[in-house]
Structure 1
Amino acid sequence: MRPSRLLLFLLPLALAACKRPEPPAAEPVRLVRTSIAQPQQVGAELRLPGELRPRVEVVHAFRIGGKIAQRLVSVGDRVDAGQPLARLDSSDTAPALAGAQAALSAARTDARLAQGELNRQQELHGRGYLSQAGLERFLAGRDSAQARVEAAQAQLRQAQNAVSYELLRASAAGVVAAVDAEAGQVVAAGQPVLRIARAGEIEARVDVPERDLATARGAARWQVRVPAAGDLVLNARVRELSPVADPASRTYPMRLELQGDTSGLALGMSAVAASVREGEGRVFVLPVSALHTLDGQPRVWLVDPASSTVRQVPVTTAGLDGDTVHIVDGLAPGDRVVVAGANLLVAGQKVRLPAARAAQ
């Protein structure tokens, strides 16, 4: 082979050997779903679905009947104590008030005339021109006129109260939970118009089936899980268990008082109440999808909130319960655990959370 041809053959190989190897491609930022690890009490004997309800829901109604002229609030509005809620048409109460004022004026006029006549008759009685019996008749007339003044004053106060009752006000601060009457509707005295859920007092309402009534009564403690609040779990105690079954559903309404921070909860959220036996251990309950195995050791991915990167930690499990796994060691309360997308991650990889979870 000629030297020139050999040189042309070796030149590409030499250039290829001088090229630096390309760095490995950076791992993409993965979208993952996470859950905050919170210890839970295991050993649930009974699980019942329910919803979050206000502890006190006050039905607001007008104290007089009439036509609703204006509704000033809507469902979901927050109201303060004394805030106007609705107003009645004043066409019914205004004539009654005017009539009571006129009746009081007439009664006072009659009382003044009766007092003047009594004064004259007392003067005649002093001169001996009027008997004692005649004087007593004028005294009775004066007293009767004064009584009519007092009756007219009472009727006026009643008419003024009726005018003040035209405006429906909130009895306490809270949230408008329901509207039962609209503007233009004629309502009777005491007919529900609005329902106000008192602020800051949330509890769980569950319905206990007949077959589970004995178990519910004998439960030592309860826990309530709220899926919409990041699977938040709160301890609870029974505030009320009705002794009478609902005639339609044949279940027994039960109210559970939530213990802990309920500021992030909203009325109407779904909840799951679980009775708890005493003496059971506290574990972390996570979806099975959060778990993966490396070298025969169960592990989970944790998200570092500062750097938005993941790292895997070994954990000790205590068995499965349906689609969840019980973890007894390796996690701490407040750890953010990846529960979806774990099979695509590598150590140190950056991740991002859905917008709703990232704000938590």
Structure 2
Amino acid sequence: MNYGQPSFGTDDHLALPGAEGRSNRRWWIIGAAILAVLVIVGVYFAMSGDKGAAQPAVAGGKNEQLPTVSVAIPGRQSSARIISATGSLAAKREMPIGVAGEGGMVTRVLVEPGQWVSAGQVLATVDRAVQTQTGASLAAQVNVARSDAAIAQSELDRAQALVNRGFISKADLERKAATRDAAVARVRVAQAQLAEQNARTGRLDIRAPAAGLVLTRSVEPGMVISSGSGTLFRMAKGGEMEMRAQLSEADLTGLPTGVTAQVTPVGGDQAFTGTVWQVSPVIDPQTRQGIARIALSYNPALRPGGFASATIRRGSSDMPQLPNSAIQSDTQGNFVYVVGNDNKVVRRPIKLGEVSDTGVAITEGLTGTEQVVLSAGAFLNAGQKIKPVLQNKPVLQKTQG
């Protein structure tokens, strides 16, 4: 045997020196790779299994998270119905004053705007030189007629004394009586003509037809005026004012006279108490509005022609009230969400009434027995299911009306 040659009879004897260590490391690397692949596959199937298990839960709604929402039953509370309106200020009874006579040149103007005058007081005078001379002439004619009547009466008296003696016939006596009657008639005619002229002359004075406040003056001394000159003065009878409030057709319906109103002129913070004394019997077909006239006592702050706002207290009625946070609005109008079947929110259109410190009155849309969403309405959708939490009464927020 040759002991110097290596033997290749079996696999064990084929390994070269150092080959056994390298083989072991290779198997370790392969095992680690297989283990890593198994871990990755296990994690993948585990995640896939969780997703598959979660989907039935969502579909079945067992673990669905519902939003918790505060709701309340508003009930019905007594609330005053207040109507807001705007309009203009004016004299309750405005009196335009012009020329009543034939006119002429104005000699004096005796009043100014803002001045109080009495009934019959002279506001302005017109030159009356011609009328004065005409009156003097007529007065003289009255005196002449009276003299003629006196002479005719004397002749009649003498004739009556002589007729009994037979010096004058009864026919002559009757003629003298007729002459006396004609003379007396001429006196009356002359007196009537004088009275007419005096009345014409008196009409040259422009007078106040009633006591009141002078609002405007559009005449000055030296102006020549006539019956076609138009209005020279404007007065408020008794100084009484009013606001002519523009109201919608719906607000005018059933509005009684005698209700109180608060009127605030624009630019001021003082409110004046008035009374609705007339409601327009007609509606403007273009604007669908009418006028409610609110009587006001005189105050320097109430200037005719100015603009004002008014709140008319029409009475009280029972209606639901809600805080401002419960009311939503969009292009379709105001609405609230109420809890319907299966705790799903339902959109309910409403109409708003008075806004006050106690909340907003709901005139239409609610009966007061519904569960109304108090807040978070902007984050809800119609038909969405919620978890309602009922409060004893709405938490009314202070709002500004």
TMscore range, shorter length: 0.5 to 0.7
Query: Structure 1 residue 277: deviation in Å?
Result: 4.4
2:224 is aligned to 185
1:273 is aligned to 310
Letter in 1 for 2:95: V
Query: Structure 1 residue 203: deviation in Å?
Result: 1.7
CA contact (8 A) 2:357 2:398 kept: no
Q: 2:240 aligned with 1:201, yes or no?
A: yes
Could you tell me which of 109, 125, 136 is aligned with 1:87? 125
CA contact (8 A) 2:213 2:239 kept: no
Query: Structure 1 residue 145: deviation in Å?
Result: 0.6
* Counterparts in 2 of 1:246 and 1:103: CA distance versus 1, 3 Å: farther
Q: What per-residue deviation string (whole Å, max 9, x for no partner) do you get for residues 251-292 of structure 1?
A: 64431124xx7645322242113344432689569xxxxxxx
In the TM superposition, 1:101-180 aligns within 5 A as 101-180=139-218
1:303 is aligned to none
SS in 1 for 2:302: coil
Letter in 2 for 1:240: Q
* Counterparts in 2 of 1:144 and 1:282: CA distance versus 1, 3 Å: farther
2:249 is aligned to 213
SS in 1 for 2:316: coil
Q: What per-residue deviation string (whole Å, max 9, x for no partner) do you get for residues 197-222 of structure 1?
A: 134422212344xxx23421423545
CA contact (8 A) 1:68 1:182 kept: no
Q: 160-169 vs 273-282, which deviates more?
A: 273-282
Query: Structure 1 residue 111: deviation in Å?
Result: 0.8
Q: What per-residue deviation string (whole Å, max 9, x for no partner) do you get for residues 152-192 of structure 1?
A: 12222222233332222334443221235554232129953
Q: Matched residues in 2 for 1:246 and 1:126: separation? A: 86
1:331 is aligned to none
Q: What per-residue deviation string (whole Å, max 9, x for no partner) do you get for residues 110-130 of structure 1?
A: 112212322332233222132
1:346 is aligned to none
SS in 1 for 2:192: helix
- Kindly tell me the number of residue pairs found equivalent between the two proteins: 246
Query: Structure 1 residue 101: deviation in Å?
Result: 0.7
SS in 2 for 1:188: coil
Q: Matched residues in 1 for 2:308 and 2:278: separation? A: 17
SS in 1 for 2:315: coil
SS in 1 for 2:235: strand
Letter in 1 for 2:208: A
Letter in 2 for 1:63: A
Please give the root-mean-square deviation of Cα atoms over the aligned residues, in Å. 3.5
Query: Structure 1 residue 249: deviation in Å?
Result: 8.0
CA contact (8 A) 1:229 1:264 kept: no
* Counterparts in 2 of 1:164 and 1:317: CA distance versus 1, 3 Å: farther
CA contact (8 A) 1:61 1:190 kept: yes
Query: Structure 1 residue 137: deviation in Å?
Result: 1.4
Query: Structure 1 residue 146: deviation in Å?
Result: 0.8
* Counterparts in 2 of 1:317 and 1:110: CA distance versus 1, 3 Å: farther
Q: 2:114 aligned with 1:50, yes or no?
A: no
Letter in 1 for 2:303: L
Q: TM-score, normalised by structure 2?
A: 0.52
* Counterparts in 2 of 1:181 and 1:244: CA distance versus 1, 3 Å: farther
Q: Work out which of the two has the higher radius of gyration on C-alpha atoms and give 1 or 2.
A: 2
1:295 is aligned to none
Query: Structure 1 residue 135: deviation in Å?
Result: 0.9
Q: Matched residues in 2 for 1:227 and 1:250: separation? A: 24
Return the structure number with greater strand share: 1
Q: 2:262 aligned with 1:224, yes or no?
A: yes
Letter in 2 for 1:265: A
Unaligned segments of structure 1, at least 5 residues: 1-40, 286-315, 327-360
Could you tell me which of 266, 277, 291 is aligned with 1:239? 277
Query: Structure 1 residue 84: deviation in Å?
Result: 2.3
Q: Matched residues in 2 for 1:317 and 1:114: separation? A: 101
In the TM superposition, 1:203-352 aligns within 5 A as 203-208=242-247, 212-219=248-255, 221=259, 223-228=261-266, 230-244=268-282, 252-258=290-296, 263=299, 265-268=301-304, 269-279=306-316, 283=356, 318-320=397-399, 325-326=400-401
Letter in 1 for 2:315: E
CA contact (8 A) 2:80 2:316 kept: no
Letter in 2 for 1:53: A
Query: Structure 1 residue 48: deviation in Å?
Result: 2.8
* Counterparts in 2 of 1:278 and 1:206: CA distance versus 1, 3 Å: closer
Could you tell me which of 138, 143, 150 is aligned with 1:100? 138
Q: Does 1 or 2 have the higher relative contact order (CA < 8 Å, sep 6+)?
A: 1
